[in-house]
Amino acid sequence: MKLSTTIDFSSFMHRLEQRNPGQPEYIQAVYEVLTDVIPWIQENPEYAQDSLLERICEPDRIIKFKVTWDDDHGNVLVNRGYRVQGNNAIGPYKGGLRFHPSVNESILKFLAFEQTFKNSLTGMPLGAGKGGSDFDPKGKSEAEIKRFCQAFITSLLPFIGKDKDVPAGDIGVGSREISYMFGQMKRIATIAPGSLTGKSVVFGGSNVRLEATGYGAVYFLQHMLSAQKDDISGKQCLVSGSGNVALYAAEKLLTLGAKVITLSDSKGFLHIPDGL
């Protein structure tokens, strides 16, 4: 086996851009990660062999499908659904579903790529994936959201399962949407409770699932500061967003004695110099 000892960063990125035209979000994500990874590989050349880096950057598969659903006025509408199954080297694909007008293949590839590293760093046997649709839940009735979720998961169902791919929530997909999808899965197939995470507690979901991501971000920050012999108490903290993750992150920061001075959404931001 011939051992390659060098990877030229510029050449690698040029090839990646040629293979993925019109995908700036994905290219930027890979660029940012590889600026740290490639120098490390140069020092550990055994990881340059067998095209390991190329294999990590190329998703295992991308599933793209039509989602047809009815609005409250009887109109038939069509959205596009995706599931990017990034890497299952250490376990089943795991990652959220996002419902937002900005969703496209490039954004989901970037999220699945970064999810590979995020999940592996937990130490758990989890691969990485990401999915969703360009469906916009804003302004939709509860019945419309339910019908869309049912149509979406019906199309995605053949490609997921507890030992294959376990989706979760993300932007636009909370416990309500996950529960609608899980109910549809139970209706049309025999499904184990672990096939989706982020469900309502009545469907077998976790009690602290709603707070978990926001709290987890703060616990991570707490450990980083502790390693530097510092703590959160008294710190001024900038929180980006105002959704589920941001609000519970802010809540935990306040509990630990920090001062939260920003929140934001798609329309702007709040700057509160004296804190929330």
Catalytic hit among 130, 146, 199, 252: 130
Enter the pTM of the model.
Answer: 0.85
Assign residue 232 the CATH number of its domain.
Answer: 3.40.50.720
Give me the sign of the Cα torsion angle 89, 95, 97, 98: negative
Of 7-16, 58-67, 116-125, 241-250, the range with the highest mean pLDDT is 58-67
Per-residue pLDDT, averaged over 110-125, amounts to 94
Burial of 124 (0-12, 13-18, 19+ CB in 10 A): exposed
Per-residue pLDDT, averaged over 33-61, amounts to 91
Please tell me the distance from the alpha carbon of residue 166 to that of residue 128, in angstroms, as a whole number.
Answer: 9
Our count of domains for the chain comes to 3
Burial of 275 (0-12, 13-18, 19+ CB in 10 A): middle
> Which residue range forms the structural domain that includes residue 35?
9-57
Report whether pLDDT(181) > 70.
yes
229 is catalytic: no
Asked whether residue 276 is domain-assigned, the answer is no
Of the pLDDT bands very low, low, confident and very high (cuts 50, 70, 90), residue 2 is very low
Of the pLDDT bands very low, low, confident and very high (cuts 50, 70, 90), residue 194 is low
Domain co-membership, 163 together with 116: yes
Q: What percent of the chain has pLDDT over 70?
A: 96
E strand map for the chain: 61-70, 76-87, 93-99, 128-133, 165-168, 236-238, 259-265, 268-271
For the chain, the average pLDDT equals: 92
Q: What is the pLDDT of residue 1?
A: 34
Asked whether residue 1 is domain-assigned, the answer is no
Domain co-membership, 203 together with 130: yes
- 207, 223, 256 - which closes a domain: 207
Domain co-membership, 94 together with 197: yes
Domain co-membership, 227 together with 157: no
Domain co-membership, 36 together with 86: no
Report whether pLDDT(37) > 70.
yes
